[in-house]
Structure 1
Amino acid sequence: MGTTGAGQGRRVGRPRAERRPASGLAPREELLAAAAELFTTRGYAATSTRAVAERAGMRQASMYHYVAGKEDLLAELLESTVKPSLAYARELLADDCAPAERRLWELCRADVELLCAGPHNLGVLYLLPEVRAERFAGFHAMRAELKETYRRLLATTGAGAALAKGELELRTDLVFGLIEGVILVHRSDPERPVSVFAESAADAALRVAGV
């Protein structure tokens, strides 16, 4: 029986990228890096899947072997701004040996370092109307848990324990908003070392918290 029928000569396996940059990244990571750049410079709505694929050095058809589409890329980028901080926050919350004030400061510092470490301001993606869609429920759940960890750590400090419930919620909102907003300040002063900036931001956050 011959093998020249329709589809029988097709090669099966992982598609090869075309004109891939010499970055050393895996194809999916290359797509995420391209999406981060384009979503934050051109805008999410204005960026096509073709543009992301071309920026990553592959054909648009090949892109779908690694991701389902733009929403898949956006969701992973958003989650990448929270997931490491959340994992660390869980560790800090479970560490009863260290003072709560120190643990809260350390969470603020680490969170700022994560948000400011990358080459692109992914924080602007939080404001996209598309992020309200059900596809991003995982991101919202992680972000909510991270914020709750901030609240629980603040509540166990000496100052936090004396606050009424409404005031505690307000202080948590202010601290969490400050930490997520500092990336805009850092972008205006990119020469300042991230570690120094993160420590100063953590100091300011604890003052806002009243600790």
Structure 2
Amino acid sequence: MLLEVAAELFTLKGYGVTTTRAVAERAGMRQATMYYYFSGKDELFAALLEATAAASLGRARRLLAEPERPAEERLWELCHMEVLSLCADPSPGALYLLPEASFERYARFHELRKHLREAYLELLKATGAGCTPGADEASLRLRNDLMFTLVEGAVLTRRCDPARSTADLAQATADAALRIAGIDAARV
């Protein structure tokens, strides 16, 4: 409950304006009680960022551990699940958009995201897309980065039109991500 409230307030009001007092009151507890769980706003924010990235990385690792399934199918599923997760209410993916998320003090979050990006790349490589003669590692990584940022950027699309179906957004984003990768999404 405390983390959900913090996520909602950080997303709606911003990191700078949100106070620990406001988070505690909205969660129905005293500020002193909140400090029993978190030392302050930074620790709350870090916990939210890390939990979101860790859950995403867990999903990616589960899909990587299923080599019997076609890589294209697993990559599409990862993109789809990520959009559904990042665009859930309160929107944990919107926290990524806050300027504070880029601060060095959230190094663990950045490390988790780096591993997640690498998991996308591993799945992309397993599809064989872009592995044609003359394709180099740099172009494959570029496609991976475009795919990865498209998925994370779905939060912006959701923010612009909150009434839009998250399921439709997830489907369209996953299809587009595979097209960026050079995979015909209709075959998946």
Are 1:43 and 2:24 an aligned pair? no
Instruction: Name the TM-score, length of structure 1 as normaliser.
Output: 0.79
1:114 aligns with 2:79: no
The question of whether the paired residues in 2 share the 8 Å contact of 1:40 and 1:122 is answered with no
- Indicate if the aligned counterparts of 1:123 and 1:180 stay in contact, CA closer than 8 A: no
**Is the contact made by 1:77 and 1:122 (CA closer than 8 Å) also made in structure 2?**
no
Q: Which is further off, 168-177 or 53-62?
A: 53-62
Give the Cα separation in 1 of the matches to 2:93 and 2:127.
31
Are 1:144 and 2:114 an aligned pair?
Answer: yes
Task: Identify unmatched segments of 5+ residues in structure 1.
Answer: 1-29
Decide whether the 8 Å contact of 2:147 with 2:180 is kept in 1: yes
- The answer to whether the aligner puts 1:80 opposite 2:46 as a matched pair is no
Structure 2 residues not aligned, in runs of 5+: 184-188
Higher helix share: 2
Deviation at 1:128, TM superposition (A): 2.0
Task: Report how far residue 73 of structure 1 moved.
Answer: 0.8
CA-CA distance at 1:206 after TM superposition: 0.6
- TM normalised by structure 2 equals 0.88
**Partner Cα distance (2:160, 2:101) in 1:** 27
- The residue aligned with 1:19 is none
- Distance change in 2, residues 1:199/1:171 (3 Å): same
Structure 1 residues 190, 63: closer, same or farther in 2, change over 3 A? same
Partner-residue secondary structure (3-state), 1:62? helix
Distance 2:142 2:98 in 1: 21
The answer to whether the 8 Å contact 1:36/1:122 transfers is no
RMSD between superposed Cα atoms in Å:
1.7
Matches for 1:54-203 after TM superposition, within 5 Å: 54-120=25-91, 122-129=93-100, 131-134=102-105, 136-162=106-132, 163-203=135-175
Residues 52 and 92, structure 2, Cα contact 8 Å, conserved in 1 = no
- Contact 1:40/1:125, CA 8 A, preserved across alignment: no
Number of equivalences: 181
Matched residue SS, 1:81: helix
Are the aligned partners of 2:48 and 2:92 in contact in 1 as well (CA < 8 Å)?
Answer: no
Structure 1 runs of 4+ aligned residues shifted over 4 Å read none
AA aligned to 1:74 is F
Q: Which one has the largest radius of gyration? A: 1
- Deviation, 1:149, is 0.6
Question: RCO (CA 8 Å, sep 6+): is it higher in 1 or 2?
Answer: 2
Call closer, same or farther: CA 1:154–1:78 in 2, change over 3 Å. Answer: same
Summarize the Cα distance change of 1:176–1:117 in structure 2 as closer, same or farther, 3 Å threshold.
same
**1:134-157 deviations in Å (ceiling 9; x for gaps):** 3x2221111111100111111121
